Chain A
Amino acid sequence: MSGNLPNRRLIQGNEAIVEGALAAGCRFFAGYPITPASEISEILSARMPEVGGTFIQMEDEIASMGAIIGASLAGTKSMTATSGPGFSLMQENLGFACIAEVPCVVVNVMRGGPSTGLPTSPAQGDVMQARWGTHGDHPIIVLAVSTVLDSFEITVRAFNLSEKYRVPVIILSDEVVAHTRETVSLPAWEDLEVTDRISPDTPPEWYVPYEGSSSGVPDMAAFGKGYRYHVTGLVHDVRGFPTQRPEEIEAFTSRLFRKISQGFHEIQKVETVFMEDAETAVIAYGSVARSAHRAVIMGRSQGLRVGLLKLVTLFPFPRRLVEPVLHQCKAVLVPEMNMGQISREVNRVNSSACRVIKHNRFDGQLITPEELMPRIEKMTS
């Protein structure tokens, strides 16, 4: 057996991530067990060999991250999955993927933290870590999933963006999305749009491995294809060799950022519900976006002009899509299962008179539509 599983299925979020990854062409997975992400490893240990790919359980998350980078350099789309403690361990090698521009996808199924925290409870405390966890200036893409279908579709999207921009992509899920079972119709593989990195077609002697084209994204040769070049975590020149020349360092770092900022229109994605005539809005992501969606429907049935802005891309923060909402609304509510992380971003980009109201929960419980209702009513009145 290989390829797609039957179309309509009752599956959990973690399983949908697995199917999304396989559909996107991921053929290498390395991981280390951790709640609430373990199902991704367990299912892939069976699915990967079925499709001719490789699953390996490594000795820790540092090793898992290293292994997926290695596999990607050898030309195979790769992924790892973890939760908070493991995500912390991955940070150094994640930075390597950023500086060496190695496509790969890292799933963090968030649980309560810090440290061992709340292993079986949902949280959204790793948002800023996903953006800034590895040291140094670096671009990175962070996407959030809020439903089982999201978990499939956004995983495909994560691979596509990673391949196109040669940047690691983080998928933030949480314990609720990961373990919720829903019946979903998964698209057939052949109906999906799948992006692959661009391999050089120049003769090897003309290949300049880190010379960005106008897009800023260099063509990527897989090891073993005749293009012998050097890959390093040191800042490097266009040939991949370490450099300490100020003009080369500046050109390099600028290009890393430019290749992402030129793609903002494609990378940044949000979804809106009832926003056309909204006077107030809820800005949410992850499992909280589901509660917010419900609350907005409840609000509308009471005649409140409230809408939902669901963030799919968390970073690069979709400023150009959030700003119009802040100009349109007199107030926005930002519910999060943390002490307030995305609300800081919303505040940062807010240049209008819109009030940004935080709603934070950090007791290991999901934010419910019922608890959002009074906040929405108050903000609307």
Chain B
Amino acid sequence: MTVKELLGTLDLEPLTEDTNLEGQIEAGYVSDLLSDVIANAPENSVWITVQRHINILGVAKLKNIAAIVTPRSLAVELAVIEKAKAEGIALLRSDRSAFEVAGRLYGVLMKEAR
């Protein structure tokens, strides 16, 4: 599915507006440890993390991560949002917890895979 489709289905706020809305999503990963994401996140993932430091963008680029989801309505600095736009990575935000976002995402992706 595309990032755009995900936005609607999971009710996410696109912090980076229309950045990478056509990006393809095939899998997901949840982790706050950057080296763990580098080692284990599948390609074309949505990455759910509470990390909001600029380094998450470098990791996302490295792993072809199409979108990053920030849970619990956590604040994201403007500089990070601007950098994400420049790098073509979608930053999305949810008012739900990482657990709830992951649960919903899993359901949607599994349904699509069937």
The answer to whether A and B assemble together is: no
